[in-house]
Each structure stands twice: as C-alpha cells, then as structure tokens.
A and B are shown apart, each in its own frame.
Chain A
Amino acid sequence: MSVSDLPKKESNILKGHEGAVLAARFNSDGNYCLSCGKDRTIRLWNPHRGIHIKTYKSHGREVRDVHVTSDNSKLCSGGGDRQIFYWDVASGRVIRKFRGHDGGVNAVKFNEYSSVVVSAGYDQSLRAWDCRSQSTEPIQVIDSFTDSVMSVCLTKTEIIGGSVDGTVRTFDIRIGRELSDDLGQPVNCISMSNDGNCILASCLDSTIRLLDRSSAELLQEYKGHTCKSYKLDCCLTNTDAHVIGGSEDGSIFFWDLVDASVVSSFQAHSAVVTSVSYHPKDNCMISSSVDSTIRVWKT
C-alpha cells in the first residue's frame, strides 16, 4: 500500500456524543461503527453515510470500551461503573450485566465464538465472563498483573493483556502458560497485527512498540507523537503496512511498519485523539476524540 492510499481525507464527522468519545470501533465487516464515551452512552453509526443509528444507554458512568460480536448481534461494553454490559444490538436491551471488577473496566473483548467476554480492569485483573450461561460470576480471573490492565486482545487460543505495570502478558489457554513480556513502560493499549504475529503496544513514554509474539523480541519503536497521560489507542492498517496512532495534541500519525519513519501526520482533532480504528478491508479509518466527535477518514 502506498502512502497516498492512507486515509487522510475527512469524509464524515459523526456528532452526537456529549463530552469525550473514549473509543470508536468498526464492527467486523466495517459497515458500522460503535463509539462510547463520557456521556455514558454507546452509539451505533454508519460511518460511511455519516448517520447515527442507535444509542445504547444503561451505563451509570463513562463507557470506556465496546466490542461487537462478529455476527453483529451482541455488544459488550465496560466502563467506569465497574460493570460489563452484554447487549442485544437490535433491541438495545441489556441482556446481562457482569459485576465483579473492583475498579473501572478499561477494555472488553469477545472471543472468537462470542461466548466469552474478557474484560480488563483497573483492579489489576482480567476477567472472563460467560455469555452462554446465566451465571454472572467470572469464569476466570487472571490477577497476575501488578497494575491496572489497560487493554486486552484475544486470539483463538490466547488472552493477551497489556498493563500499566509495563507488561504484556499472554495467557495461552491451550498449553496453560502465562508469558509475561516486560516492556518496562506502562502499556496503554495493545493491538494485534492482522497476521497475529506481532503485538503493537502503545506505551506511556510516547512510544509505540512492536513486539514479536513468539520470541518477545522488540521489533520496532514508533515515536513522534505524544502519549503521556491518556489511554490512546493504536492500530495497524489492514495490510499491516503502517502503524497508526493518535496523539494528545489531536493529530494522527502514520508510521511505516518496517523502518518506523513517520509517513504522515496531520491534525485530525482539536483535542486528544483517544481512539483509532481501521477498516478491516477498505482504506478507511475512524478516530474518536475528546472533542466529542468521531471522524471518518478515507483516501
């Protein structure tokens, strides 16, 4: 993918959130996107047409993360009210509430079969919740982290969590191992490359680090942006050619994956860019910001 293909042109602004938007996520096919924010709502959008479709209200505090199943039928969300909500997308009703975190929930993810929600919490734990049973108790609590867990990624067999204690821990369910990779810097956000071999970890020292998952080798560091005090997301393009990260000054950076050079950066928002999400197939990107907007970027 050439540099000119990077989504840098603003195609739509999604307005509706009151207050900061904390996360914006494409759904699995990229036709819709979800956002959540300080106004305690989750919103479903069509980013391509720029329309707001639905609002999900039930959270008692800010919603920090949201994830949708691959069949688009269910949502999960977690936030400052320490609960994970399991939603029915169409009706907008809460199917289940999972309580158990002792602190705010920083991130939530469905597993591949959408049967388990894994949540990362401020209480230094990862918790797995069963969506299939009626039980609202976590089926697994992973509390080997020594600080707030900021982000979680799931593969078919693994749970990966990034924490402020500077570690990215991989919990391999298949062999029952925990691999702890210590980066030495608080990890804000982790996102997995599309080939599943690497982990992109956004650290609080204004550096995004690329980690080889099998060897724990530090492959590359991406610098230039500011990330010192906020939870800023980072992601890879769908071709894994570029790394995208928001900055606290409202700009978005594109780095070349291999040589870590800043390919492009532009002022995208007027305030902190909290989240970036890349379209699974097209050259399209959404970014959310504290300025209460979500912007859709296309080439």
Chain B
Amino acid sequence: MDSDEEDFVFYGTPIEREDDITTSRKKKSVAEASGQLRTLAPWKQEVRDEEGRRRFHGAFSGGFSAGYYNTVGSKEGWTPQSFVSSRKNRSEVKQQDILNFLDEDEKAELEGQSLGTSSQFDTFGITAADHARKHAEKEQQKRPSAIPGPVPDELVLPAADSIGVKLLLKMGWRRGRSIKDSHANVAYDARREARKAFLAFSSIDAKSLPADSEPVHDKPENYIEQPASNDVQSSQNTPVYVLYPKQDLHGLGFDPFKHAPEFRERKRSRVSENRGLANKSSLLTNNNLFGFKSGKLAPGFGIGALEEFDAEDEDVYASGYDFEETYVEDIDEPTRSIMDSKEKSVQKEPGALSGFKLASNSDYQLERFDPPVVPKEFVPHHNFPGPPETSYKLGDPGPPEVPPPQDNNLKVLIDGVATLVARCGKLFEDLSREKNQSNPLFSFLVGGNGHDYYARKLWEEQQKRGDQTKLHLDGKLSPRTQKMTSESRGKILGERPLERSSKDSSTSIASADIHLQYNLSDTFTDPSLYSEMPVVAKPFMNDPAKQERFEQFLKEKYQGGLRSTESGRASHMSEAARARERLDFETAAEAIKKGKWSKEISTSLTGGMEFTSGGFVQAKDTRAEDAIPKEVHVKRTEYQWRPSPILCKRFDLIDPYMGKPPPAPRMKSKMDTLIFTSDSVKATKEEETIIVKRDSYHMPQPEAGGVSKDVADNESGGEVEVENVERPVDLYKAIFSDDSDDEEDTSIPNEVSNPEKKVDAANTTLNRLIAGDFLESLGKELGLEVPPELPSSTNKSRTSAPLKETANANSRLYSTYPVEDKPSSTLDVPHSRESAQDGTYEKREPANGNLMGARSNSKHAETYLGNQFDNINSEKGPLEDRKFKTPSRRHRSLSSSSSSEDERSRKRRRHRHRHSDSDSDSLSDHRDRYHSRSKGRKKGSSREKSSSSRKHSKHHKRRSRESPSRYDYSPEKERTETKRDKHQRRD
C-alpha cells in the first residue's frame, strides 16, 4: 500500500485513508461538538471525552459502554418490560425433576443409590474412559461448535468391542487368531509325541490292546486336526456383520420375493453356486483385515464420497504406517506353521475351493485357433460409420447387375426410390412399402416386377453414399465444410460440449432416426453442395422444358425452403407424370452431387442417366478454379431481435418494442431449431455460390429458368441481402395451428384477392394451400401419392396468385423493417379512396405521404421515423387493419416493398419513379399490372419478386398448377433474358 500511495500522489489529490486514526478522531469530536452525532440511534453513539477518546468505564463496569450503550434504556427505549401473561405460556412449563431441586451433595448422595460400575473394579479402564468421553461430550455441547448441527463426535463413536472380546484380548488372544489354536496344537503335539513314544514302546508287544485302542483314539484326532486348521482359517475372517449383503441391483429395501417367497430359496441356491469360488477366495484374501480395506488408499482423509479417486488421492498418508503389511504378517505367521501344503495352495490359488486343489492335468483342453489371416490389402484404418444404413453394405459385392425393366417409367421410379432409400435409410423403404401395398407400380418393393433391379440400384446408391461419407472422413471436403464447428473443436480439445451447442447443431445429424425430421432437414439446404451446382451438366439436354424444370427443381432443392411439388410450367402434366419426373430429378441431382466426389461413380451411374461423363470433366475443371475464392464476401442477414426493456433503459434508448405484447415464447421444439438452423445456413451458402459464380463464370447461366433469375437478382442486390428468418414460423403456424391464430400475427401474410371476398375465406384458403403444399411435398418425399387438392375456385386462385406473392413480399419486408405503412402517397391515396370503408384509415394516409417525402433524404431517419410510425399503428392493431383495408393494403405493400428496396440500393433510385408509376397505372387490371410490373422491374428491381417467389415458391407453384393459363411463359423468359443482359453488362 505504501508504494501505491506514492503513485497516487502525482495525479490528482490523494485519497484519504479511512483508518487514519488521528484525523478521524478529531473529526468525530468535532462532529459531536456540532451535534451531528446526537441524531444517531443510542446504540450507535459513542461517549467521548474532549480529546475524542472513548470513555472507558472500567473493565468490570461495562467497558466502553456501560448499561445499554451508555444509557439506561434498552433497544426498545426506556419502556419497562411489558407484562406477559402466563396464561398462554402455562403449558410451556418444563417437566420438572427431582434433580432440579437437589444440591450438589444431595445429588452425589442420590447417585450412591443408583447402580453403576465402580471405578475400583474398572479393570480395563473402560468405564473411566467412557465416563471421560461422556463428560467431554457434555462439555462439547455447552460450547458453541464451529460446525453447526450435530457434533461429529456424536456421529463417530468408538467401536465398542464386546466384553468377551476385551477379555480375550486381555488374556493374550489377538484378533484373527483362533481362540483355541495354540492350545489345541500344543495338546495335539503333546499327544502325538506321546503316541509315538507309546507306539515305539508297544511295538515290542505285537498288536496288543493299545494297538486296538490307538486307531480309535487316533481317528478322531485326525479328524479333528482338519477342521481345527480350517477353523484357523475361518476365525481369521471378519465377523459377518451383514448377513445378507446387498448384491442385487434392486433398490434398497426392495424385496423381489415378497409375494413369492418360494423363489427366494431357488435364487439363493443358484447365487451361492455361482458365487462359491470367488466369494470364498475374496473372503480369504481381503477380509481378514479388520476394518481396513486393502488397497493403497488413505483411509478417508480429505476425500469426499462423491469425488473420484485420482492418482494424487492415492496413498498420500498411507506410506507412514502400512497397516496391511504388519497385519498380514501377524496373521499369517501362526497359520503358516500349522497349515499343510494343501492349505497353502488353497490360499495361493484363489480359484480352488478350500479342501480341494487344482488338478495338475485337466482333461479340459483349451482349444487354440490361429488368428485370422489379415488380407494384404487391408488398411488398418478405422472407417467411422456415417449414416448407419449406408455403411454396412459396403463390403459385400451386392446383388448382380440386372438390366433395367423395359418400362422406362418403372425404371425411373425404381431409381428414385432407391436413391431416397439410400439417403433416408431402410425406414423409408418400409414405410413406402407399407403405404403402397396396393399400388402395382410399387410392387418392386415387395419382390414383384423389377425387384432385382431395385435391389441392385439400392446397393449402388448405398455404395455411393458410403463412398461419399468416406470421402467426408478423409477430409476431401471443400474448405467450407472443413471449418471447425465448436463441437469438433471441443472434441479435439477434449472439452465437454456445452448443452446448448450440442443441441443446436447436431439436430440435422441426430434427427436421422425420426423420419419426419430427416425429411425436413433434407428439404432444407444441403450446404457445400449448391456452391457447385451452377456448373452442373444438363442431364436433360434434349428436352429443354424438362431441363428447365430440372433446374428449377435444383434451385429449390439446394436453396432451401420448402420444396414445391413441381415446377410452375409443368402444369400440363398429370399428377403421376409429375411425381415420376420428380423422382427422375431426384436421381439426377443425386448423381450430379456424387459426380463431384468421384468420377467413376458418375460413370457407373450413367446407365440410368442421360448425360455423359464428359460434362463432369468440365464441371471439375471449373470447380478447380473456383476452389480458390478471390475474396470473402460478407453476407449480411437481418433478424428481428428484441432488446429487453431494461437494456434499452440502461442505454438510454426508447424501447423499439414498447407497447408491443411480449414475444411469443419461442418454440423450443426440435422442429424449430431445425428450421432455423438450416435456413440460416442456406442463406450463407447462397451468397457463396453467387460469388463463386461471378468469379469464374462469364458465359450465360446454364440454368435458363429460375436459378439464373435468382442469381441475377442476388447480384443486382449487391452484397447486402436482407433475409428474414421469420418465415419458418409462419410455416409452422400454417401447418399446425388454427386459422384463427394467424390473425394475431402480423407477419402472417393476410391478403385477399378480391375486395368482395371474405377475408377469412381467403385466409383459410391460403393456409390450406400452405399446409397442403407442405404435406404434399412431404408425401412426395416419401414417394407417396397425394391426391391433388380440389381447386376450390379457379377464378379466385387465378387472381390471387400474383397478389399473394406481393403480399408475401410485403410481409417479409414488413417483418424486416418494423414499418408497416410506408407507402408513397401518390400511389396509395387513390386506391384507398376507391375502396375506402374506414375514415380513420384514410386520415392516416396523407400523414404517411408526408412522411414519405422526407424519407428519401436520409436513410436512417426514415427507418426511425417509420419505426415510430409503426408504433402508432401498432396500437390500432393489425387485425382491424386487415379487415378494413385489405385491398389498399395490398397495394401499399407493393409500393412499400419497392420503396424499401430502394433504400437498399441507392443506385437504382432513378428507376424508382418509373416503377411506381407503372404500378399505380395498372392498378385496375391485375394482369396488366403484373406484366408492367415485371417490365418495370427489368432494370434491377426484380429482386423482390424473386425473393418472394423463392421464399414462397410453393404457393406460387401450387397455384399455377391449378390455373394453367395464369402463369404463361413469356414474362418469365423475358425476365431471364434481361437478367442475362444485365449479367453480361456487369461483367
């Protein structure tokens, strides 16, 4: 502290030391003089003299504080003790004893009458010791103990030997020794000597009377000798304290034979049979030490019952006094002298029963087998099993190669099923077999037509998967997947995984046993793979439409999100054809995926495929350059995050969620984590892909359809991609909750097609669509036929198709920015008048418009303004809002989506005007509007569309299937072309 103080001096004023006695004393006296201390409670006051010293009343008259802190009062003040009625306390009078009233001498006299051990005859000093101990105990009780609760001395009583043992000890008997051994042996020896002498003496007389009597005498001797030495053995043992030691695994006190006592005997006999040998030997070797367990452990110093024994716990104190050795010698000495060789062998060989010895040659011959010959090509390297189903069949040659069935459809179906089975495991096969029992198409599962081919195919697939997992393990992964997770790192470091972490990221692996979840995880992104997808060959070159659908399929497959059942343009196909095509795609995609891992697999696959291995060579080359990404691009994702009110308060900020209801308890189901993790993973991968593509690819995108559109969109959007991860929640709700629940949630797309339609009806339809699509895709995943939903009203779905999209986009953006009403006034006002039903709503509109004017100035300001505005709106509640104003809201959503997009890409601001104009112009005609919108979007704002269509592509797909004419080719193509244009321009 001294050295510290000198450092304190040079900067600022020195800190006063509180324990500086003189100053504080002075201070106190001064303070007292000024009367400050008088205000203190009496027990806090100190009486001091003029120099500030405390007044000392004398050691025997109170010390520093006489009376009650130098007062005559008490803590309660100067009040007299209040009267306590004995009426209530009467019963509490203690039971009185005669001893309470006796004097000491009287007590002593009284004690003389009671019976006790006189100290005169306390031969061993036991009584005295006992007395002293009791006395000490009493003392102990009077004194306060450091350890609360019962005094340890009470718990740990010295083990009292019985008086018999004590007497024996006094007589020279030592523990472990037979009581009679020495005497018996002495007697026996004496007798034996006598007998010899007698024999020698009597040998002169041939077989006279003593010879007759000898055996009679001798036999019992011999007979006795044996048990006597056995007795030595048994007497060495610890007295059996526990008659029936607990040896079963039942709970304490549980008696399995309670109601069936007849089995107890059986059990006991059986157990004793089994145990006979080992028990005996253990008794012999171990238990002859009284109290001490053999082993090197110190007898209970500093080792808790729950602690594990470490190396350092071992034998810390024991070296000083080795109980075991001294004791063992003590015991063995006498025994050895009397034991014959047989007995010794018993002790040495614990396997033999006492009284028996081990046979020197047994007829039991130990059969020896040569170790199996290790094949030369065997690599002593453990392959960790990947998915349980895939690894087990790797070794066998598999079923013979079978020509595919004639029916091409059947072949494709079999291929697809085999792929799925290989991926999802045997469970899938069982399931689909069960489901399709009646379906003749699936007869190959149960051994019908094409079963051989199926078996072969399945084996091939499993082989492939096995190879893949092997490659995984060999570390030939892309650098992306090699990134250490916290789990793997922890494993390397030998750390115990945190609970949460292991829960979170292992879901996709651990859920393999749960079929539904497996499928779900399949549905979402497969990381590392999509990055290579852009360079895939085109398996369906000869059929451009099919190729396009395939690419659409790929996009959906690897970009995550729910898989749609079919692509949008395949609406002319029948349900069965679509399912078959889907399986086809699945196989192709699988094959392409495999093609990345090893080339020969892809070539072996070509039997069922329509592409050549040449395409893969090319793919590989491009991938090689891709392997070194020039730079890492940062992927931005935005989530909703709710700071706690107190945090906002401490940061001196206004809670952005003020007034909002507390967040719904987050779903903790596995489903939830599954969805969330896979989604975020997906987002990253997407970006990755794009980067790779941009670096390496300069030619037009191989995918003509949705993929390239999406890619271009992403590129136009720049690095900043705003993602919303709330969607899975909606999905969850849509599937598992009632329609009525959705009305509470603002992020649920609550849009209506026509103003005259009932809102609720539309909502229901939407939810049914969502749920239906989801279930259908699940069904497809399982290879099951899901009956197509009856198109309730073509007209409705037709009109609602684009609207829903936009509304979805709206809801997405809405939850991205907490801004509900951000329309441009020019857009909104006319329309809201058109179908105005609510005055208050209209009133709010101009305000919004004003707000909008200010918005373009500052990006941040607008967000916060909008944010505030949102707060205002939130009071109105989304529900009434929706009910009143759905149509106008829909258009607002349009504009708001585009405007928020505008925020994100300032460079495109100049297109902004045209865009909104085109929107507002075509409000009356939905179809027109749609076209113009796509046109207006051409220059770069197609992003919102694509994101919405990607996100909710399944609705859109579904809808378009139901209304074939709705979604014609041209706008799509047009967009694609513009995308290409733009892409090239960019490059």
Contact = CB atoms under 8 A, between A and B. Distances in A.
Interface of A: 31, 46, 51, 53-54, 90, 102-103, 111-113, 115-116, 122-124, 128, 130, 132, 139-140, 142-144, 146-148, 156-157, 164-166, 171-186, 209, 211, 215-218, 221
B684 A139 contact: no
Range for the number of chain B residues in contact with chain A? 35 or more
Given A140-B644, A177-B641, A146 B719 contact: no
Contact of A216 (B486, B720, B863, B867): B720
Contact of A182 (B637, B642, B643, B653): B637
B727 to A, nearest CB: 16
Contact of B632 (A140, A148, A218): A218
Contacts, number: 148
- The 3 nearest A-B residue pairs measured at CB: A216-B636, A178-B641, A176-B656
B15 A156 contact: no
A144 B485 contact: no
A74 B864 CA distance: 34
Interface stretch (B27-35, B498-506, B876-884): B498-506
Given A140-B644, A174-B656, A180 B651 contact: no
Contact of B634 (A51, A112, A217): A217
Interface of B: 4, 7-8, 11, 15, 480, 483-486, 489, 498-501, 504-505, 631-644, 646-648, 650-654, 656-657, 677, 680, 684, 687-688, 718-720, 818, 863-864, 867
9 contacts: A124-B486, A130-B646, A172-B641, A174-B654, A176-B818, A179-B639, A183-B634, A186-B484, A217-B719
Contact of B500 (A90, A116, A123, A183): A123
A171 B644 CA distance: 12
A185 B632 contact: yes
Given A180-B637, A218-B634, A175 B7 contact: no
A115 B650 contact: yes
Contact of A116 (B640, B647, B720): B647
Given A176-B656, A182-B684, A132 B640 contact: no
A92 B719 CA distance: 48
A139 B644 contact: yes
A248 to B, nearest CB: 18
A173 B651 CA distance: 8
A136 B659 CA distance: 26
B545 to A, nearest CB: 37
A216 B719 CA distance: 8
Contact of B15 (A90, A164, A171, A218): A90
A181 B632 CA distance: 12
Count chain B CB atoms within 10 A of each CB in A175, A179, A221 and give the residue with the most. Answer: A175
Given A179-B638, A181-B636, A146 B653 contact: no
Contacts of A139: 644, 646-647, 650
Nearest to B648: A173
Given A116-B650, A132-B650, A179-B636, A218 B11 contact: no
A173 B647 contact: yes
Contacts of B719: 215-218
A180 B4 contact: no
Contacts of B505: 146
Contacts of A103: 498
B486 A157 contact: no
A127 to B, nearest CB: 11
A116 B640 CA distance: 22
A183 B15 CA distance: 48
Contacts of A54: 4
Nearest to A147: B486
B725 to A, nearest CB: 10
A113 B650 contact: yes
A140 B636 contact: no
A48 B614 CA distance: 70
Given A176-B641, A221-B631, A124 B500 contact: yes
Contacts of A171: 641, 643
A217 B718 CA distance: 9
Nearest to B480: A184
A156 B648 CA distance: 11
A147 B646 contact: no
Given A103-B498, A183-B632, A174 B864 contact: yes
A128 B718 CA distance: 34
A173 B646 contact: no
Given A130-B646, A146-B504, A178 B638 contact: yes
